[in-house]
Structure 1
Amino acid sequence: MNYTLFLVGLFIIAAGLGCLETATTPFVTVLGPESSGHFRLNLAQTFNSFGAIIAVVFGQSLILSNVPHQSQDVLDKMSPEQLSAYKHSLVLSVQTPYMIIVAIVLLVALLIMLTKFPALQSDNHSDAKQGSFSASLSRLARIRHWRWAVLAQFCYVGAQTACWSYLIRYAVEEIPGMTAGFAANYLTGTMVCFFIGRFTGTWLISRFAPHKVLAAYALIAMALCLISAFAGGHVGLIALTLCSAFMSI
């Protein structure tokens, strides 16, 4: 039951973040000339990368460093009482960090409530009457680029989540003697690569065609994923770490 509640909490967090990003992304793109909307969007998302770095360091110091990672062989040799105590220690290790996060999120939400954002008005007054949600969705579905963009975004988010969530386990399983706490350093490196890639990408798309920069990033990211899948060891781990630099725009 406790694990179920934990999953419900994670679902609520993800839903809230999804709604927040869905609302703010269009807002950022219209706060200026349409031609530079993609530049402002990537620049704003750079702070997301910076926050991810802080989150990894935060989790490493308050979660992974307090509870040693146990291999499956060690877990199999534990008595039911020892296994229960170990799992309980894992649960307790995330309590304090999440309470700190709750306090920070509430503070940020309060600041957002007190901030006066500029009112945006469409140049086309007919936009005020867009019809129902289903009508708007139907209108978007007729745009070929939009359909492909939704599919591409779905695949991108899945690939990014898989790479980030599996990196620590990949390091522990592929590198002899690697601990989860030390492997978190590679996850921090991943976020740093993501941060650098986002900054570099923001600069590149201001000078080259955005779709060409995106295509180049995607091809490099796929190549690095293939290396991590087939090479293994330190080479695979480094490739998996560097991959985030090219999943950043």
Structure 2
Amino acid sequence: MNNVKIVVAGPRGNMGREAVKMVSGTESFELVAVVDSKHEGMSLSEIEGFHGIDVPVYTNIQTCFEELDVDVLIDLTAPAFGRKHMEIAFANGVRPVVGTTGFSEADIAELRNMAEQKELGAIIAPNFAIGAILMMKFSQMAAKYLPDVEIIEQHHDRKLDAPSGTAVKTAQLIAEVRAEKAQGHPNEKEELKGARGADFEGMRIHSVRLPGLVAHQEVIFGGVGQTLTIRHDSIDRTSFMPGVKLAVESVLKIDTLVYGLEHIIE
């Protein structure tokens, strides 16, 4: 079986660096290029931190796909580029695996339609950590019995979107089994605007942004005389790489867009 030919977009970011290492170290994968915002025409090995990884750097993703044989794009850029890169990938017969968040429901529906028209697989994952996926699944199970719930997500202070894609996805999964209901006192008043967090069908989502954090989330359920807390912590970005590897392997076997790794984890 031929190796999966992969391009990584966003190689100099924290996640991108780990993805380059993972792809380069996986026997069945082949890193053929990276897409970066600068360093056009250079070899990745010439950039600090990538010694020995001799693949070309492109600033134009279209040119990259035209010049090289590519199976999968791993996109770990910023929300402003995620959708654009997916559209270019579809146009060139490349299957995208995207870790960028910030997609609306309309975006996902439109991109799914593009994927199905091209008969290409695509995966958008708000979180690639297997433990985080299990946390979301367990939270959905718990919500059937403890419908009063709040979500606290904590990330590094360079994260652009709030709440996180993981928090929103968790709330969506809970909403599938929980009737919409307002929580807290019916006459409660925020003395400081935003104190109660974002409101998702009555659930409250709170975002923390601090240096030193990576990616953390706890889902707190309250019931009569009891509470239940389900928490996941990514203390290093290597925690995301098994999920990225699984997504690459899975995207080759589907011909639609899948939003969330929970749909490919049994």
> Normalising to structure 1: TM-score of the pair?
0.20
Higher Rg:
1
**Bigger relative contact order (CA 8 A; separation at least 6):** 1
Structure with the higher fraction of residues in strand conformation: 2
Structure with the higher fraction of residues in helix conformation: 1
> Normalising to structure 2: TM-score of the pair?
0.19
